[in-house]
Amino acid sequence: MPPRKKITADASASVQPTRTSARNQAKVQATVAASAPAPTPTATTSAPKAQVKAPASNAKAASKAKVPVSRGKGKRLHNEDDEDEDKPEAKKVKSDDKVDDSDDEPAPAPKKMVTVVKRGAAPVDPCSGNVDTHQVLSTSDGVWDAMMNQTDVGANANKFYVIQVVHPIGNDNSCTLFTRWGRVGENGQQQRKGPFSSSVAVAEFKKQFKAKTSTNWEQRHGMATKKGKYTWLERDFEEDEPDKADSNGGGSSGAASKEPENIPDSALADEVQELCRIIFSTKFIDAHLSSMNYDANKLPLGKLAKGTILNGFAALKTLSEVISNPGSATATQMGGYRKAVEDLTGRYYSIIPHVFGRNRPTVIDSAVLLKRAALQELDLVDALGDMEIASKLISSSVLTDDSGKALNPIDAHFKSLRLTNMEHLVKTSQEFKGLEAYARDTHGSTHSYNVQLLNAYRVERQEETDAWNKAGFDGLKDGERLLLWHGSRTTNFAGILKQGLRIAPPEAPVTGYMFGKGVYFADIITKSAGYCYAHLSNGTGLLLLCEVAVKPFYELNNASYNAAQDSRAAACRATKGVGRYRPGAWQDAGDTLENETLTGVHMPHGKLEDGKDTTALMYNEYIVYDPAQIRVRYLLMVKM
C-alpha cells in the first residue's frame, strides 16, 4: 500500500474547486439466464448510448461473414491509427473489416456515479448496456478483461481502451468481443463483434490486445510500454474476503449485498457513528478523487492492483531523476531532455489515469513543476491506497456478528477496522479540555483558517503497541516522546485506522518529501490541518494526535532529501525541521490530560513564541522513518 506522508506547506491551504467525478461502486448481483445457440457472427460500432444488437439470424449476412481466427498476417479488427476525429455512425461490419476507433470526438459527460455490477470474475463494462444480462468470460487461463491507457502529452492524446469477452449469463457458448475507446473522462465509442464460441472469442481478444500494446497477452505482467502503444492497467478483481475474525461460523460470505432485511439500530455511541459516516463516505471519496483529477472509471477504487500503485510511484521517481540530471544517460537514451520529460510524464498519466478534458496534459518539465507535481501526485498515489482500503471495507464488511445476528452496517464498517479501542471523550472532562487547549494555543499566525474541536476519541491499535514495545520504546526517558499532530484527508482515515501510518515505498521519488521519506508530524495544529482538505468533506476535518518517539532528533533549518540517512548517521531517532514559531514551553501530557498512559510524554504548553531564527520553515516539523516509533493516541474531529 502507498505510504502516509506529509509534505511541507506553511501557507494556508488553498481551496480547489470540486470537479465532476465518476467513480465506481461495486455491488454483487446474481441472476441466471437460459443458454441460446450462437447466431452468425457480426460486428457493430456505436456511440456509447446507441446499443446495437446483432440479429439472431440473417441468412444473407451469414453467407458473407467469416468467423475470424488469429492469423499472423491477417487483418486487424481496428485501425492502428485511432486518432481520426471522424466519428463513425453505427453500422454493421464484416468480421475482418477495419473500424476507426478514434478517441477524439466529444462525448456526453459521464454521470457522477457509475455503478459496476460484478458478476463472475470481473464486472461487465457499465457503458455496454449488458450489465444485467451478461458476464465476463473466465476460463482456466484467466479473466478475459483488459483496461489500457495511453497518454502522449506532445500529441495531446489521453485515451483509454477496454476489451472484454462477454457472454449471456450461464451460456459461455455464445461470446461477444466488446471494445470501448475514447478520451479519458468520456464514455467514448464502442463496438461488439460476434457471437463466437469461447475459444474463437479468446483468440480475437488476444489479437486485439497485441494490436494495441504490441505485447502478447501471456506476457502482459511486467510488460514495457512501447512507443505509441497502450499501457495495460492491472486491476484486482479478486473477491474481497472478510477477516476471519469477523466471520461467523454459519458460513456467511460477508458480502455487503447480503444485508439483513431488518436492520438493527447501531450499538455505537452517536459520536462514533458520526465518525464512521465520515470516513466511509463514498460521497467524500468522490469529491477528493475528483479534486485530484483521478479517473475512477478506468481504475475503480477497490480494484486497484498494488502493482499499479507502485508503478505510478516508479514513473514519478524516474521523472524526478531526469529533471535532477538533464544530461543523464536516461535522458540521452530517450532522445534528449525535452523528449524524456514528455515521454515520462505521459508514462505516469498512462499508469494513473487523469482527466484533463480536452486540455493538453500538463508536462512536468522543471524542478519547480516537479516539486508542485510531487506535492499533488504523490498525495494522489498515496491517498489511492487508503481510499482503496475504505472502498474494500465498505463492500466487504460482514453484516452479522459472531453468533450470526444482524449488524447495523455502520457497526459492521467500524468492526472491520479491528481497533483495540475507540472511546469518545466527554466534552466536560479534563482530557477533552486539555486537547481543546492544545488546539487553541497552537494556531499558527500565518494560517487564516479556523479550527474548532468538535469531538475527540481515544484510539488504540494493538499492532502499534506490539511494535512499539518490541522496539523498546516503552522504556524511553521522560520527554523523549512527544504528543504530535498528523493531518490527512477524511477519506484516508479508514486506511490509517486499519493499517496505521506508513512510510513511502522504495518506488516513490524522494522529491516532494522535504526531509526524506518518512511520516511527518507537527506541534502546531494548523500546520497539520492544512492537509485535511476539509472543504471537500463539508468543512469537517480529521487529525491524529500520536505519541512519537523522536528524541534525540537531528535538527535542520533547511530541506534535505538525505535527512533520513543523515539522522541515522548522527544516531538520532528523528529529524526536526526547526521553525521560526514554536511552543514556548512543554508539559507532561499524562498530568495535563489526566491520562496516566501518557505519563512521561510531553506536549506544548501555552502560546507560541517567535524564535526569530533564520530558517526555511515557519513551524516545527518532526519526521520519523520507522512506523514502530508511532502510536496513535487520539483522533480529533474538527470544523474548518
Residue pair 564/556 in contact (Cβ under 8 Å)? The answer is no
Q: Which pLDDT tens digit goes with each residue over 166-207?
A: 999 988 899 999 999 999 888 899 999 989 999 999 999 999
Cα separation, 319 vs 325, whole angstroms: 10
What residue ranges of the chain are covered by domains with CATH 3.90.228.10? Answer: 417-639
Q: Where are the alpha helices (DSSP H) in 280-366?
A: 282-291, 306-324, 329-333, 337-351
- Strand runs (DSSP E) across 466-600, as ranges? 481-488, 519-521, 540-549, 553-556, 574-577, 579-588
210 pLDDT tier (thresholds 50, 70, 90):
very high
* Residue 332: closest CA among 343, 340, 324: 340
DSSP state of 450: -
Cα separation, 528 vs 55, whole angstroms: 61
* Amino acid (1-letter code) at residue 323: I
Cα separation, 278 vs 265, whole angstroms: 18
pTM for the whole thing? 0.63
Q: Which pLDDT tens digit goes with each residue over 5-64?
A: 443 444 333 333 333 333 333 333 333 333 334 444 555 555 544 443 343 433 333 333
Three cell numbers written together for 48: 456509447
pLDDT of residue 225: 84
Among 204, 271, 431, 621, the active-site one is: 621
Cα separation, 400 vs 409, whole angstroms: 9
Q: Mean pLDDT, to the nearest integer, of 483-508?
A: 90
Name which residue leads in pLDDT, 40 or 163: 163
Cα separation, 26 vs 24, whole angstroms: 6
Residue pair 601/547 in contact (Cβ under 8 Å)? The answer is yes
Looking at domain 417-639, which CATH architecture does it have?
Alpha-Beta Complex (3.90)
> 634 forms bridges with which residues in the sheet?
458, 545
250 pLDDT tier (thresholds 50, 70, 90):
very low
Between the alpha carbon of residue 174 and those of residues 37, 58, 169, 309, the distances in Å are 7, 16, 10, 36
DSSP, residue by residue, 197-241: -HHHHHHHHHHHHHHHHSS-GGG-TTPPPPTTSPEE--B--S--P
Residue pair 1/498 in contact (Cβ under 8 Å)? The answer is no
Q: Could you confirm whether 621 is annotated as catalytic?
A: yes
Task: Give the three-class secondary structure for 258.
Answer: coil
Please report, rounded to a whole number, the percentage of residues in the chain having pLDDT higher than 90.
45
Omega before 509 within 30 of 0, i.e. cis: no
Cα separation, 53 vs 596, whole angstroms: 71
